Copies of this chain bind each other. A is one copy, B any other.
Protein backbone atom coordinates (compact mmCIF):
# COMPACT_ATOMS: atom_id res chain seq x y z
CA UNK A 1 0.00 0.00 0.00
CA UNK A 2 2.70 2.39 -1.07
CA UNK A 3 0.93 5.68 -0.96
CA UNK A 4 -1.59 7.98 0.59
CA UNK A 5 -1.85 11.52 -0.66
CA UNK A 6 -0.62 14.21 1.69
CA UNK A 7 -3.90 16.10 1.56
CA UNK A 8 -4.29 16.06 5.32
CA UNK A 9 -1.26 16.88 7.32
CA UNK A 10 1.87 14.87 7.08
CA UNK A 11 1.54 11.26 7.97
CA UNK A 12 3.75 11.29 11.03
CA UNK A 13 1.56 14.01 12.53
CA UNK A 14 -1.58 12.00 12.08
CA UNK A 15 0.07 8.92 13.52
CA UNK A 16 1.32 10.87 16.51
CA UNK A 17 -2.13 12.25 17.18
CA UNK A 18 -3.66 8.83 16.87
CA UNK A 19 -1.27 7.43 19.44
CA UNK A 20 -1.72 10.47 21.66
CA UNK A 21 -5.46 9.91 21.50
CA UNK A 22 -5.02 6.31 22.57
CA UNK A 23 -2.97 7.47 25.52
CA UNK A 24 -5.51 10.11 26.43
CA UNK A 25 -8.29 7.54 26.17
CA UNK A 26 -6.52 5.32 28.65
CA UNK A 27 -5.96 2.51 26.21
CA UNK A 28 -2.27 2.95 26.85
CA UNK A 29 -1.87 3.68 30.56
CA UNK A 30 1.18 5.59 31.80
CA UNK A 31 4.18 3.35 32.20
CA UNK A 32 2.88 0.75 29.81
CA UNK A 33 4.84 -0.35 26.81
CA UNK A 34 3.61 0.29 23.32
CA UNK A 35 3.53 -2.58 20.85
CA UNK A 36 6.83 -2.95 19.06
CA UNK A 37 7.41 -0.79 16.02
CA UNK A 38 7.19 -3.84 13.81
CA UNK A 39 3.81 -4.76 15.27
CA UNK A 40 2.35 -1.31 15.50
CA UNK A 41 3.28 -0.07 12.05
CA UNK A 42 1.16 -2.55 10.08
CA UNK A 43 -1.66 -2.19 12.57
CA UNK A 44 -1.80 1.54 11.81
CA UNK A 45 -1.34 0.88 8.11
CA UNK A 46 1.91 2.77 7.93
CA UNK A 47 5.54 1.90 7.42
CA UNK A 48 8.01 1.63 10.21
CA UNK A 49 9.98 4.78 9.25
CA UNK A 50 6.79 6.84 9.38
CA UNK A 51 5.86 5.34 12.71
CA UNK A 52 9.34 6.12 13.95
CA UNK A 53 8.97 9.76 12.92
CA UNK A 54 5.73 9.92 14.86
CA UNK A 55 7.36 8.35 17.91
CA UNK A 56 10.17 10.89 17.76
CA UNK A 57 7.61 13.66 17.67
CA UNK A 58 5.81 12.20 20.67
CA UNK A 59 9.10 11.79 22.46
CA UNK A 60 10.05 15.42 21.93
CA UNK A 61 6.64 16.41 23.18
CA UNK A 62 7.22 14.29 26.25
CA UNK A 63 4.34 11.89 25.81
CA UNK A 64 6.52 8.90 25.37
CA UNK A 65 9.92 7.61 26.29
CA UNK A 66 12.00 5.52 23.91
CA UNK A 67 14.32 3.01 25.51
CA UNK A 68 16.62 1.45 22.96
CA UNK A 69 16.50 -2.32 22.79
CA UNK A 70 13.63 -2.40 25.21
CA UNK A 71 10.61 -0.55 23.88
CA UNK A 72 8.58 2.61 23.80
CA UNK A 73 6.89 3.53 27.04
CA UNK A 74 4.07 5.90 27.89
CA UNK A 75 5.42 8.56 30.10
CA UNK A 76 3.76 9.26 33.43
CA UNK A 77 2.71 12.86 33.00
CA UNK A 78 0.33 12.98 35.92
CA UNK A 79 0.83 16.15 37.96
CA UNK A 80 2.00 14.92 41.35
CA UNK A 81 -0.20 16.57 43.98
CA UNK A 82 2.52 16.34 46.62
CA UNK A 83 5.06 18.56 44.89
CA UNK A 84 3.07 21.59 43.71
CA UNK A 85 5.59 23.65 41.85
CA UNK A 86 9.02 24.10 43.31
CA UNK A 87 11.21 22.36 40.79
CA UNK A 88 8.74 21.08 38.24
CA UNK A 89 8.61 23.44 35.24
CA UNK A 90 4.86 23.12 34.78
CA UNK A 91 3.23 24.61 31.70
CA UNK A 92 1.15 26.99 33.73
CA UNK A 93 4.27 28.41 35.32
CA UNK A 94 5.36 29.60 31.91
CA UNK A 95 1.95 31.06 31.27
CA UNK A 96 2.04 32.86 34.61
CA UNK A 97 5.38 34.38 33.76
CA UNK A 98 4.14 35.41 30.35
CA UNK A 99 1.17 37.04 32.01
CA UNK A 100 3.53 39.17 34.04
CA UNK A 101 5.76 40.22 31.19
CA UNK A 102 3.95 40.23 27.87
CA UNK A 103 1.12 42.68 28.58
CA UNK A 104 3.65 45.34 29.46
CA UNK A 105 5.70 44.41 26.43
CA UNK A 106 2.66 45.13 24.32
CA UNK A 107 2.16 48.46 26.04
CA UNK A 108 5.80 49.40 25.49
CA UNK A 109 5.56 48.32 21.88
CA UNK A 110 2.54 50.56 21.38
CA UNK A 111 4.50 53.48 22.78
CA UNK A 112 7.59 52.65 20.76
CA UNK A 113 8.81 55.13 18.21
CA UNK A 114 10.64 52.45 16.27
CA UNK A 115 8.61 52.23 13.09
CA UNK A 116 10.53 49.23 11.78
CA UNK A 117 9.85 47.22 14.91
CA UNK A 118 6.15 47.99 14.77
CA UNK A 119 6.06 47.10 11.12
CA UNK A 120 7.61 43.78 12.09
CA UNK A 121 4.71 43.19 14.48
CA UNK A 122 2.20 43.86 11.73
CA UNK A 123 4.09 41.64 9.34
CA UNK A 124 4.30 38.79 11.85
CA UNK A 125 0.57 39.05 12.34
CA UNK A 126 0.01 38.89 8.61
CA UNK A 127 2.11 35.76 8.35
CA UNK A 128 0.24 34.15 11.15
CA UNK A 129 -3.12 34.99 9.63
CA UNK A 130 -2.06 33.47 6.33
CA UNK A 131 -0.92 30.27 8.01
CA UNK A 132 -4.00 30.00 10.19
CA UNK A 133 -6.29 30.42 7.24
CA UNK A 134 -4.37 27.78 5.41
CA UNK A 135 -4.98 25.49 8.34
CA UNK A 136 -1.39 24.93 9.20
CA UNK A 137 -0.18 24.25 12.69
CA UNK A 138 0.69 27.87 13.23
CA UNK A 139 2.69 27.43 16.38
CA UNK A 140 5.93 28.95 15.11
CA UNK A 141 4.00 31.85 13.60
CA UNK A 142 2.35 32.43 16.96
CA UNK A 143 5.75 32.54 18.56
CA UNK A 144 7.06 34.97 15.99
CA UNK A 145 4.17 37.32 16.65
CA UNK A 146 4.74 37.44 20.39
CA UNK A 147 8.46 37.73 19.89
CA UNK A 148 8.06 40.61 17.47
CA UNK A 149 6.06 42.47 20.10
CA UNK A 150 8.69 41.84 22.75
CA UNK A 151 11.35 43.16 20.42
CA UNK A 152 9.24 46.18 19.58
CA UNK A 153 9.20 47.02 23.27
CA UNK A 154 12.69 48.34 22.67
CA UNK A 155 13.98 46.46 25.68
CA UNK A 156 16.29 43.64 24.57
CA UNK A 157 16.16 42.06 27.99
CA UNK A 158 12.42 41.65 27.70
CA UNK A 159 12.80 40.28 24.21
CA UNK A 160 15.22 37.69 25.47
CA UNK A 161 12.96 36.69 28.34
CA UNK A 162 9.96 36.23 26.09
CA UNK A 163 12.05 34.18 23.68
CA UNK A 164 13.15 31.92 26.51
CA UNK A 165 9.61 31.55 27.74
CA UNK A 166 8.56 30.27 24.35
CA UNK A 167 11.44 27.87 24.39
CA UNK A 168 10.19 26.60 27.74
CA UNK A 169 6.78 26.28 26.27
CA UNK A 170 8.14 23.99 23.58
CA UNK A 171 9.31 21.64 26.32
CA UNK A 172 7.69 18.23 26.68
CA UNK A 173 4.80 18.65 29.06
CA UNK A 174 3.79 22.10 27.92
CA UNK A 175 3.85 21.42 24.21
CA UNK A 176 1.64 18.39 24.65
CA UNK A 177 -0.87 20.55 26.45
CA UNK A 178 -0.60 23.20 23.79
CA UNK A 179 -1.44 20.75 21.09
CA UNK A 180 -4.43 19.44 22.98
CA UNK A 181 -5.71 22.94 23.56
CA UNK A 182 -5.60 24.06 19.93
CA UNK A 183 -8.95 23.25 18.42
CA UNK A 184 -10.03 24.86 15.15
CA UNK A 185 -12.38 27.13 17.09
CA UNK A 186 -9.66 28.11 19.51
CA UNK A 187 -7.40 28.84 16.55
CA UNK A 188 -9.89 31.30 15.16
CA UNK A 189 -10.36 32.97 18.53
CA UNK A 190 -6.61 33.12 18.87
CA UNK A 191 -6.35 34.94 15.58
CA UNK A 192 -9.02 37.44 16.62
CA UNK A 193 -7.25 38.16 19.88
CA UNK A 194 -3.99 38.66 18.05
CA UNK A 195 -5.74 41.05 15.70
CA UNK A 196 -6.85 43.18 18.64
CA UNK A 197 -3.34 43.27 20.00
CA UNK A 198 -1.84 44.13 16.63
CA UNK A 199 -4.37 46.90 16.06
CA UNK A 200 -3.81 48.46 19.45
CA UNK A 201 -0.07 48.48 18.92
CA UNK A 202 -0.44 49.92 15.43
CA UNK A 203 -2.69 52.64 16.84
CA UNK A 204 -0.20 53.45 19.56
CA UNK A 205 -2.77 52.65 22.24
CA UNK A 206 -0.61 51.39 25.08
CA UNK A 207 -3.35 50.69 27.58
CA UNK A 208 -5.50 48.91 25.04
CA UNK A 209 -2.54 46.85 23.90
CA UNK A 210 -1.76 45.79 27.44
CA UNK A 211 -5.37 44.84 28.07
CA UNK A 212 -5.68 42.95 24.82
CA UNK A 213 -2.56 40.94 25.50
CA UNK A 214 -3.74 40.16 29.00
CA UNK A 215 -7.11 39.01 27.71
CA UNK A 216 -5.38 36.87 25.13
CA UNK A 217 -3.15 35.12 27.63
CA UNK A 218 -6.02 34.55 30.01
CA UNK A 219 -7.98 32.99 27.16
CA UNK A 220 -5.05 30.74 26.36
CA UNK A 221 -4.90 29.68 29.97
CA UNK A 222 -8.60 28.96 30.03
CA UNK A 223 -8.29 26.85 26.90
CA UNK A 224 -5.44 24.84 28.39
CA UNK A 225 -7.24 24.33 31.64
CA UNK A 226 -10.24 23.08 29.71
CA UNK A 227 -8.02 20.75 27.70
CA UNK A 228 -6.55 19.45 30.92
CA UNK A 229 -9.99 18.85 32.39
CA UNK A 230 -11.51 17.36 29.25
Q: Which residues of A contact B (CB under 8 A)?
A: 6, 10, 12, 49, 52-53, 56-57, 60-62, 65, 68, 75-77, 79, 84-89, 93-94, 96-97, 100-101, 104, 114, 117, 139-140, 143-144, 147, 151, 154-159, 161, 163-166, 168, 170, 175
Q: Decide if A87 touches B156 in the complex (CB within 8 Å).
A: yes
Q: Decide if B12 touches A56 in the complex (CB within 8 Å).
A: yes
**How far, in angstroms, from A168 to B168 measured CA to CA in the complex?**
20
Task: Report B-chain residues with C-beta under 8 Å of the C-beta of A166.
Answer: 62
Provide the main secondary structure of the chain A interface: helix
Q: Decide if B156 touches A88 in the complex (CB within 8 Å).
A: yes
**How far, in angstroms, from A16 to B6 measured CA to CA in the complex?**
25
**How far, in angstroms, from A156 to B6 measured CA to CA in the complex?**
40
Of the candidates B117, B155, B165, the one whose C-beta lies within 8 Å of that of A93 is: B155
Q: In the complex, how many angstroms separate the beta carbon of A32 from the nearest chain B beta carbon? A: 16
Copies of the protein in its oligomer: 2
Q: In the complex, how many angstroms separate the beta carbon of A140 from the nearest chain B beta carbon? A: 5
Task: Report B-chain residues with C-beta under 8 Å of the C-beta of A79.
Answer: 163
Q: Decide if B96 touches A158 in the complex (CB within 8 Å).
A: yes
Task: Report B-chain residues with C-beta under 8 Å of the C-beta of A139.
Answer: 62
Q: Can you report 29 A-B residue pairs in the complex whose CB atoms are below 8 A from each other?
A: A6-B68, A60-B61, A60-B170, A61-B170, A62-B139, A62-B166, A65-B140, A75-B140, A75-B144, A76-B144, A77-B143, A77-B144, A84-B154, A85-B114, A85-B155, A86-B117, A86-B154, A86-B156, A87-B156, A89-B157, A93-B155, A94-B157, A96-B158, A97-B157, A97-B158, A100-B100, A100-B101, A100-B104, A161-B164
Q: In the complex, how many angstroms separate the beta carbon of A25 from the nearest chain B beta carbon? A: 18
Q: Decide if A60 touches B57 in the complex (CB within 8 Å).
A: yes
**How far, in angstroms, from A94 to B97 measured CA to CA in the complex?**
16
Q: Decide if B93 touches A140 in the complex (CB within 8 Å).
A: no
**How far, in angstroms, from A53 to B58 measured CA to CA in the complex?**
12
Closest B residue by C-beta to A151: B86
Of the candidates B49, B140, B157, the one whose C-beta lies within 8 Å of that of A62 is: B140
Q: Decide if A60 touches B62 in the complex (CB within 8 Å).
A: no
Task: Report B-chain residues with C-beta under 8 Å of the C-beta of A86.
Answer: 114, 117, 151, 154, 156, 159
Given A52-B53, A77-B140, A140-B65, CB of A155 within 8 Å of CB of B60: no
